[in-house]
Amino acid sequence: MNNAKMWLVVPPAVGVPVFLGAVAVGSFSVHVAVLSNTSWVADFLSGVELGTGDAQAAADMLKTDNVAQASYVVPNADGGQQVLVIMPDGTTQSAVLQPNVVQASAAPLPAIVEQ
């Protein structure tokens, strides 16, 4: 046992309960975190079929009218496109799509000469 000398400093009557208490507190905190940050664990513990909670939440999100209403694409003079999107709250957002352009390097690459 590598840590046998530890019991010369801390008596087992104190060290063992402190160690087991730390393990219990850590385990309890992990279980609380899992229960509070996931939806399927609570469903499983209450007997609900797995996957129904998340599928129902996803279906509810699709049913809501929380998507952009319309979008328009306007061509630019440089060959790119400007996309205008009307958001659900009535504001507009635009994005500029630039055409594919090959960027020239500052210095040409050296030629490979075979000997």
Tens of pLDDT, residue by residue over 48-97, are: 776 666 666 666 666 656 666 556 677 777 778 888 877 777 788 888 88
Residue type, 34: V
Residue spans of the domains in the chain: they are 10-63, 67-98
Q: How far is it, in rounded angstroms, from Cα 60 to Cα 58? A: 5
Q: How far is it, in rounded angstroms, from Cα 42 to Cα 60? A: 19
| Structure confidence at residue 84 (pLDDT) | 80
